[in-house]
């Protein structure tokens, strides 16, 4: 089960590969690299609309680009939240003015975004958000007060799309709005990086103390935030899952080579785990291709569900989250005692240094939590896909 790549797709692959090889010299800064991608028109390939500085590409060519990007070893993207989450949401729900204002800077790699959803008391239970947005009677602008947490790349972002409560006294899914908030508001927006086990700080706490969002920067209309927020989550897992799996395959290859070098591959239990991981990764790829192949088209709200139905994104998250975590555990197991020792090549970049296997083991501990915990994904599958009775809810 796979996409059939035709001659034109292979020509597109050669173009993408040549472009990446030509420009991947040295170590480009993250913002510089986003602008370089924008100049090449490589941002926004899957958007339903063009004319914002992006190329248009069908689903097959999006897969080609994702594969080539992953194989090239190109830097991790800083702009993927704006490109893959906010932009399709604006195309589906935004006003013409919002599209003209925000899509070109995303396509050109000039403005970076972060996602203001989770809060200390509302992580997987997103409907419990308590951040408020009070509308001024004179200007119509919103003043936002509250805290968001686990906000990826907030320390680099220019803007944040924030789910906030605009109707006083409202609860759960009601009275929420989807607001576009500039991060450059000294004294009103504070970002505090969260240091992780790996020593890095991709996640952040964000505090809003009267931060201002314009009246025209509400997506989908006031009070419709839950519908817009859920639509955005439908875009979260699409073609990018294939690129993720290519990265997984490279990590699995490194673990396999280490197992051979250390002799751990001689252990039949280790061999069994390696084979099982390889087979599961192939299954995940086939499932992703099946889901994408049955979608309504690139950039459409149904893209994440596709032929797999409403629970398909949750099934995919369960599969890869647990798989990656087991890979991290095996990566240190095949190293033996050496896995407890830091690398000889050290730098002052981090408070402590980790090699690739150690980083994989520690970072993947969170894979079954972020992006919706395994427990939440199982509930979604049970209730929405299988139609089982809803889990009893306690009183708030």
Active site (catalytic) residues = 236
> Residue 287: enclosing H or E segment and its boundaries?
helix 268-293
Q: Do 222 and 95 touch, CB atoms closer than 8 A?
A: no
Task: Report how far residue 286's alpha carbon sits from residue 91's, in angstroms, rounded to the nearest whole number.
Answer: 29
**DSSP character for 146?**
E
Q: At what angle do helices 356-363 and 240-262 cross, to 10 degrees?
A: 130
Q: State phi, psi for 319 to the nearest 5 degrees.
A: -65, -55
Only one residue has tokens 């993408």, namely 16
Only one residue has tokens 């195309």, namely 91
> Residue 61: enclosing H or E segment and its boundaries?
helix 59-72
Task: Report how far residue 136's alpha carbon sits from residue 256's, in angstroms, rounded to the nearest whole number.
Answer: 60
CA dihedral 224, 159, 230, 146 (to 10 degrees): -70
CA dihedral 39, 40, 42, 48 (to 10 degrees): 70
Task: Report how far residue 206's alpha carbon sits from residue 217's, in angstroms, rounded to the nearest whole number.
Answer: 19
Residue 184 to residues 125, 160, 189, 191, 212, Cα–Cα distance (Å): 28, 10, 7, 11, 10
Token pair listed for 210: 């009267």
């Amino acid at each position: 089960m796979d996409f059939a790549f035709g001659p034109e797709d292979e020509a597109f692959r050669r173009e993408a590969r040549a472009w990446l090889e030509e420009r991947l010299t040295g170590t480009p800064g993250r913002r510089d690299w986003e602008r370089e991608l924008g100049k090449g028109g490589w941002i926004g390939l899957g958007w339903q609309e063009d004319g914002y500085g992006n190329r248009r590409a069908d689903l097959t060519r999006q897969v080609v680009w994702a594969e080539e990007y992953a194989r090239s070893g190109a830097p991790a993207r800083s702009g993927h939240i704006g490109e893959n989450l906010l932009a399709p949401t604006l195309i589906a729900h935004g006003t013409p003015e919002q599209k003209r204002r925000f899509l070109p800077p995303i396509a050109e790699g000039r403005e970076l975004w972060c996602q203001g959803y989770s809060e200390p008391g509302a992580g997987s239970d997103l409907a419990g958000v308590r951040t408020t947005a009070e509308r001024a009677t004179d200007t119509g602008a919103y003043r936002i007060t509250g805290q968001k947490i686990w906000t990826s790349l907030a320390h680099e972002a220019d803007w944040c799309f924030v789910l906030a409560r605009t109707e006083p006294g409202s609860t759960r899914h009601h009275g929420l709005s989807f607001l576009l908030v500039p991060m450059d508001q000294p004294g009103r927006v504070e970002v505090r990086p969260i240091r992780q086990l790996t020593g890095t700080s991709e996640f952040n706490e964000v505090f809003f103390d009267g931060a201002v969002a314009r009246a025209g920067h509400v997506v989908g209309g006031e009070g419709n935030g839950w519908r817009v927020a859920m639509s955005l989550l439908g875009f979260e897992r699409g073609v990018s899952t294939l690129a993720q799996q290519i990265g997984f395959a490279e990590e699995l290859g490194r673990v396999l080579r280490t197992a051979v070098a250390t002799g751990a591959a001689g252990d039949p239990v280790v061999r069994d785990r390696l084979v099982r991981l390889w087979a599961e990764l192939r299954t995940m790829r086939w499932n992703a291709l099946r889901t994408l192949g049955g979608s309504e088209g690139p950039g459409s709200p149904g893209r994440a569900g596709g032929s797999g139905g409403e629970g398909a994104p949750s099934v995919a998250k369960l599969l890869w989250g647990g798989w990656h975590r087991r890979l991290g555990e095996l990566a240190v197991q095949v190293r033996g005692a050496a896995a407890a020792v830091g690398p000889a090549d050290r730098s002052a970049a981090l408070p402590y240094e980790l090699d690739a296997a150690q980083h994989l083991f520690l970072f993947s501990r969170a894979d079954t939590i972020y992006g919706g915990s395994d427990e939440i994904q199982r509930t979604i599958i049970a209730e929405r896909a299988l139609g089982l009775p809803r889990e009893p809810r306690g009183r708030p």
